[in-house]
Structure 1
Amino acid sequence: MKLKLEYLAGCGTFSECRFRTPFYEKEVSSLAFICSSGPAVWEPQSLLLVCAGMIPGGGEQLALWLDERKGRGAAGFLADLSGEEEERIDALAKACRERELVFGTVAADRFVSLINEYSHLIASRTDGTVRAYDRVLEDLQHRFYISGTDSLLDGLSYWTGCQAALIVGQDTFVKPPVPVLNEAVFYPAYWRKEPQKSPLSHVSLYSSSYSEKMLLQAELFKNRLPFGVLCLIGEEGRFEPSDYILLNYASILCTGIDDYKRRSRRIEAAMEMICGGQMPDSSVTNLFPESGYALVLREQKTDGAADGKKEYLSYLIHHYFPQQLCYSFSAEGSLRLFVSTEDVDHFGRRLLDILDGAGKRCRAGVSRYYTISQAVTAFFEAESAAHIAGLLEYGERICYYHDLGIYRLLNYPENSWPINQMLGEMDELLNQMDEEKRDVLAMTVRVFVKCKFNYQKTADKLYTHVNTVRYRIKLIEDLWDADLSSDEGRLLFSVLAKLLPLWMKSGCYSGTLPREGE
């Protein structure tokens, strides 16, 4: 790891060094001790530690000696020049400046301390700040226990220079939040574990043909069971040995946050109870906004997506709408939300756009505004709106319960409202007839109401004789015990003409609906 000298010069023993040449924006890759015995070998951009008597006195020999160090990639050197005259030191500093070499002086008895300290230093790849490992680990610990997971991820990103992501249950936290994570991150099948051995057993490096990024991942365990992952997302070849250490330490800190998983499960269980008609106790409803709208989104076309789809959608919801909502996925794949917002139409359209981009094209049903104590009613309305919109082949992708008009009376098959009981009874009476007569009578009722109870217009529409229409309507009047001469009878026929086709389409009806004119 390269360290910036401007930060290194202020650390521990390095602060005792007297630098005599500019070092701003200079980087050092390592320290190398140079002595009279043995060959001198060092990495490029090393800062050399030179003992007294090894630097030529001046002239051509000094120039050759400095040029050799410069040519072999040294960043500069720290020398023990105790007892040397200032004039000679100044001349050496001038020669180093001409070659853009870093030059400083320090006592030889500090060399061991310098090497030892350097081996325990780490630099932030965000701004180059240098700290000892123990100080960095202490910083991560302080962030986690004082400020929480967001601050921990901020710190991890600051020291590694990568995006840090924590995925637990339906909660995904990413710092920095942009750029938006590639969808491939959430699909385990897309990733291949790199063969190089990790220095830490629970930290592994992954690559994917679906992403230009690499993934350094640590699994999170509680009671020996995995419950989430903590990962760094960076460019190929970017990860340093220090990244493995920091990620591993952060993952150990995160073993105490499986409450996120419990929270997700509690919300999912609460949603199931609410949609089943029961309210959970207040300890669970406290996880929800105090009031808002219920939304139910049903996918219009299922693509049989691989494992990871829900996790990716959860991440997008958390990324774009981090507050004031709770959500879960039903066993059938519907997305259920309870959201507090001033503009539910804007929220719904933005959410649909985001899901479209993720390859999930949905239709949304939206309730009226309710407090969380009325969540059963709210989700009943949202489920009804989504269901009926699908039956009606609704033109808009967002269907509001308050816009359904008379169709609000229909909610097949979950409830026992009188209108549904009546529809069931009417359908049962029709089913007593043969299939052909049943379908003809059902179509006649629809067209008769559409033609405003005009027998002749109905006959023209159905391409049949007017007396045939009269005969069919009389059959239905007798069958349903309705009198079309009364206002109540006509209202009944109007309602049934609207709702009965949907009732039949819902799946209860066993016949086929002929098109008008057939």
Structure 2
Amino acid sequence: MEKESITCFQYKLRNLACDGEILKLLKALHERCGGQWVYSVHQNYEVYPDTPELSEAFFYPEWWKRRVVRPAFPGIQEFGWEEGRSFHFIHSSQTVNGEVRHLLQIRGEEEFTEEDHVLLDYACILTGYMKALPAASEGISTLMGNAYRGIRPETIPEGVFPENGYGIVVLERGDKGILKQQGYLGYRLHRSFRKCLRYCFLDETHLLLFVSADNVMKVTEQLEEIIGFGDDDMIMGISGLYSAAEMDQALGEARHSVEVGNLTDMDRTVFFHCELGIFRILDYPKPGSPVNRLMDQMTEKLMEYPKEKRDALSDTMCCFVKNHYNYQKTADAMYAHVNTIRYRISLLENLWSCDLQREEDRLLFEVVSRLLPLWVKETGYE
């Protein structure tokens, strides 16, 4: 069958663009020109033909080698990449309402033709008149970053976020630089979760997510696989279920979960806020909190003793609370004489103006005994 003229094909592309059929537009370009076509707007990607993994080459422009060609249009750039396999790219982009839209054709070693350049340029212009991808918004990262810092969103862009979801904070505490692969990881997150997840790389060690899921445990397993959790280099905190308008609460709980988890348990990788026990209401180690000020005041007095003595006092207090304020059981657990335990506890009572006959002071001791190990880890006091 005779190939339709380029003018007729452009008319076909225009009709697809008018109907908002971006995937069909990419398919038509593939059938006409071959290669793999990628259209991206911020956190959204459409790819045809779809593959389990889009080549990493797309996400690392620093790997691309500019090819010396004279494209039909100055807005088109052509590149090559060789890393085990050879790829050629032609790339065009434009900015629409503050959002940068990219259109890219990837193929093997075969050369691009002038028709490829013409159709890429025309298709890129058409996408500027299409509705953006369903959840495209340049403000996603800004909104999520502010929510992480405790600023409640004034408005949620329609169709951008799932209506309800879980806040998740991923922390990289190793030095492998896993979260530096932001573009590639972003695509993998998008492809795995499509419209039910939004993300923000706060920096190279923190990844924020808001994800809708019927089974959040399964989501954490998928995230571990996508991001590549290994050893103790990555940990994750998960909030309860919140509406998108309450994202500050969701990401706040997730942040608190990962902070507490990072200080308390080096053997686990996933920390659910609902499982934090008393730490759900104690916001330590959040700077400036009343709990922080309490710990600063109490440990400042403890620091007046030499290290060996304050270690003995803090260990005794934790063991005493653990053994339900029983002197003999504490002495047995610490292989010490019961009078030694009584002496240490009386020192702490005097130091902190407490009386363990009072229920309120017993509760205070219990709270401090939970927080003290975190305080020691965080401050690294000697």
TM-score computed with the length of structure 2 as normaliser: 0.88
Number of matched pairs: 381
Separation (CA, whole Å) in 2 of partners of 1:213 and 1:474: 74
CA deviation string 1:317-358 (max 9, x = no partner): 111111122221113541111112111111121122111189
Cα deviation 1:125-164 (Å, max 9, x = unaligned): xxxxx21100111111221221243332222222222210
Match of 2:278 among 406, 409, 425: 406
Alignment of 1:101-140 (within 5 A): 130-140=3-13
Instruction: Tell me what 1:274 maps to.
Output: 147
State the secondary structure of the residue aligned to 1:172. Answer: strand
Residue 138 of structure 2 aligns to a residue whose secondary structure is: helix
In structure 2, the partner of 1:349 is 221
Alignment of 1:339-418 (within 5 A): 339-356=211-228, 362-414=234-286, 418=290
Q: For the structure 1 residues 471 and 409, does the alpha-carbon distance in structure 2 shift closer, same or farther, using more than 3 Å as the test?
A: same
Q: 1:407 to 1:280 in 2, by over 3 A?
A: closer
Deviation of 1:295 (Å)? 0.9
Cα shift readout 1:68-121 (whole Å, capped 9, x = no counterpart) = xxxxxxxxxxxxxxxxxxxxxxxxxxxxxxxxxxxxxxxxxxxxxxxxxxxxxx
Greater RCO, 1 or 2 (C-alpha within 8 Å, sep 6+): 2
Q: Does 1:253 align with 2:151?
A: no
* Deviation per residue, 1:224-246 (Å, 9 max, x gap): x9934321122211644422221
Of residues 193, 198, 205 in structure 1, which corresponds to 2:78? Answer: 205
Distance 2:62 2:194 in 1: 27
8 Å CA contact 1:170, 1:311 repeated in 2: no
1:426-448 deviation line (CA, Å, top 9, x unaligned) = 22332344444333321221222
Q: Tell me, what secondary structure is at the counterpart of 1:399?
A: strand
Change (3 A) 1:361 1:467: closer
For 1:354 and 1:345, the matched residues in 2 are separated by 14
User: Contact 2:156 / 2:245 at 8 angstroms: preserved in 1?
Assistant: no
CA contact (8 A) 1:194 1:207 kept: yes
Once residues 357 and 504 of structure 1 are traced to their aligned partners in structure 2, the CA distance between those partners, rounded to angstroms, is: 27
1:461-491 Cα offsets, whole Å, 9 max, x none, are 4454433322111010112222223444333
1:363/1:285 Cα in 2 relative to 1: closer, same or farther (>3 Å)? farther
| SS in structure 2 of the partner of residue 270 of structure 1 | helix
- Check 1:436–1:355 CA distance in 2 against 1; reply closer, same or farther (3 A cut): same
Distance 1:324 1:441, change over 3 A: same
Indicate the SS of the match to 1:233: strand
Q: Deviations over 1:202-251 (max 9, x none)?
A: 3333222225242322231339x993432112221164442222112212
Checking the alignment, whether the CA contact within 8 Å between 1:167 and 1:173 is kept in structure 2 is yes
Q: Where do residues 231-246 of structure 1 align in structure 2 (5 Å cutoff)?
A: 231-237=104-110, 239-246=112-119
Partner residue of 2:314?
442
Mapped to 2, the partners of 1:358 and 1:239 lie a distance apart of 42
Counterpart in the other structure of 1:431: 303
Query: Match for residue 498 of structure 1?
Result: 370
Distance 1:402 1:486, change over 3 A: same
C-alpha displacement of 1:174: 1.2
Aligned equivalents of 1:177, 1:312: Cα separation in 2: 15
Aligned to 1:315: 187
Amino acid at match of 1:491: L
Q: 1:148 to 1:424 in 2, by over 3 A?
A: farther
Residue 169 (structure 2) aligns with: 296
1:285 shift after superposition = 6.8
- Which residue number in structure 2 is paired with residue 511 of structure 1? 381
- 1:360/1:469 Cα in 2 relative to 1: closer, same or farther (>3 Å)? closer
Residue 176 in structure 1 maps to residue 49 in structure 2:
yes
Q: Do the aligned residues in 2 keep the contact of 1:165 with 1:172 (CA within 8 Å)?
A: yes
Q: TM-score, normalised by structure 1?
A: 0.66
Which stretch shifts more, 149-158 or 366-375? Answer: 149-158
Distance in 1, matches of 2:4 and 2:234, equals: 50
Quote the Cα distance in structure 2 between the aligned partners of 1:332 and 1:398: 19
Give the residue type in structure 1 aligned to 2:321. Answer: V
> Could you tell me whether the CA contact under 8 Å between 1:205 and 1:214 is conserved in 2?
no
1:324 and 2:215 matched? no
What SS does the corresponding residue of 2:85 show, helix, strand or coil? Answer: coil
Q: Is the 8 A contact 1:220 1:226 kept in 2?
A: no
Unaligned runs of 5+ in 1: 1-6, 9-129, 513-518
The match for 1:265 is 138
Contact 2:162–2:244 at 8 Å: present in 1 too? Answer: yes
Give the conservation status (yes or no) of the 8 Å contact 2:95–2:101. no
Contact 2:232–2:267 (CA under 8 A) maintained in structure 1: no
Q: Is the 8 A contact 2:263 2:377 kept in 1?
A: yes
Partner of 1:167: 40
Does the CA-based 8 Å contact 2:237-2:271 persist in structure 1?
yes
Q: Aligned partners of 1:468, 1:213: CA distance in 2, in Å?
A: 74
Cα RMSD, aligned residues only: 3.1
SS of aligned partner of 1:322: helix
**Residues 287 and 169 (structure 1 numbering): CA distance in 2 closer, same or farther, change over 3 Å?**
closer
Secondary structure at the aligned position of 2:171 is classed as strand
Q: Which structure 2 segments of 5+ residues have no match?
A: none
Secondary structure in 1 matching 2:77: strand
How far did 1:417 drift?
5.6
- For the residue of structure 2 that corresponds to 1:237, the secondary structure is coil
Matches within 5 A, 1:28-67: none
Q: Distance in 2 between matches of 1:245 and 1:286?
A: 33
**For the Cα contact (< 8 Å) 1:143–1:155, is it kept in 2?**
no
What CA deviation, in whole Å up to 9, does each residue of 1:352-377 have, x standing for no partner? 21111899963211111112232222
1:150 aligns with 2:23: yes
Counterpart position of 1:187: 60
Query: CA distance change for structure 1 residues 373 and 255 in 2, over 3 Å: closer, same or farther?
Result: closer
String of CA shifts for 1:13-50, please: whole Å, max 9, x gaps.
xxxxxxxxxxxxxxxxxxxxxxxxxxxxxxxxxxxxxx
